Structure 1
Amino acid sequence: MTPVVDSVAVPPRGHRVRQTIEQLRARILGGEWPVGGRIPTEPQLVAALGVGRNTVREAVRALVHAGVLECRQGSGTYVVSTDELAPVVARRLTDDRMAEVVEVRRAFEVEAARLAALRRTPEDLAALDGALAAREAAWGSGRVADFVEADAALHTAVVAAAHNGMLAELYASVGTALRSTVAQAMGDTLEPERYVDHGRLVEAIRAGDPARAAIEAGAFLEPPSGA
């Protein structure tokens, strides 16, 4: 026998769709459905989430539009990103907008450095030391791609030390843009005149000096942009 559902307890359709979107997003962020993997079929989602087929369809469509999922004809629906902002940023990333990207980096990284100097923990400092050492090693390797990744990892460690979850999420969304500005500044080879020491930034954070940390972070991003 089909159970009787109290109609008063059933939330409005729009609310059900929003809840379903959040459930799908949670499973993606939790790693249950990794990037590159296929999500369950529509009937399976209906059974697992306890909502109607149309609700599932609308929720999936919303995440496809956001750039998190991708429907592939005859194959299924796949996870293509865990971040809804990253595809938007990537679509807007063009050579003639690099100056804007640098300005956004500056807005994030200067404040992150200031907060990191106030909030860093011993674990954060150890992570910063490790990231700084890895950046130096990557520069020594002479490989541009390795240096770009190591530089981005150090800046990400600074943001993590700020202990502001929303700032960390937004910064992660511009990760591709961040790497692009560094790669553009470096060119095809790692030339000595393009090297920018980040040791003073880490030391300012270690010293708990927010004003100096902010100055050091901003200095890297003055036109012409550097790493």
Structure 2
Amino acid sequence: MSILGKTSAIALMLAMSGTVAHAQTKAKDIVIVHGALADGSGWHAIYDILNKDGFHVTIVQEPLTGLAEDVDATKRVIDAQTGPVVLVGHSYGGSVITEAGNDPKVSALVYVAALQPDKGEASGQLMGKFAAPNDAMRAATTKTSLDKYFFIPADKFRATYAADVPEAQAKFMSDSQQQLAEKAMGAPLSEAAWHNKPSFAILTTKDRVISPELQRWMYQRSGAKVTELAASHAVFVSQPAAVARVIEDAAKQAN
């Protein structure tokens, strides 16, 4: 082979290696943990965006029967990933990722209108820190006849949880909501991953489930990089592109 041919071949190999390296940098595993009173189906639009942009996305379907069970379900999904994981949690799912995020595979945490407890704190304990609009949430939720699970009645769901979501879609979310075990809100965390992992947060300023004031307090305490969105608690449905952008930024900055 001529010197020119060898030079061209080397240049091609370097270009290809650069492309591979870039792909490896972008090819983060993203694991999404939905919140209470919802399931993973609401994340479909974000799933599509992230997949299109080259990320591998898995959505955990927690049973919402207790913090330990929900953390175990998340850990099983994390264990199945091959690379560094960006762990995303919405609402009560923030408590789940704060515990499960201690897994060494997890490189960053993303809190989407989510609880962010510290070691020894329980989800319900945090919800009581700021009265309004959490009082509205407490007034909207009810318990099953077994007095062990919470849900939002259909006539209160959209106004409380998804005010900026089209009515038909909010009705589907209401009719498919997963009830949350009362004991899940009372379980304290054993470790808080945000002490050792970079965290990113979306603060929803029109939230009637988790007070914006509580969100701001938690995210300032943890030193999370905060993005504020004028959205309801269902921001993952009403503003999927904005949420996906924060997740992608977290993936890039966690390298």
- When normalised by structure 2's length, the TM-score is 0.27
Rg larger in 1 or in 2? 1
Higher helix share: 1
Higher strand share: 2
- When normalised by structure 1's length, the TM-score is 0.29
Higher RCO (CA < 8 A, seq sep 6+): 2
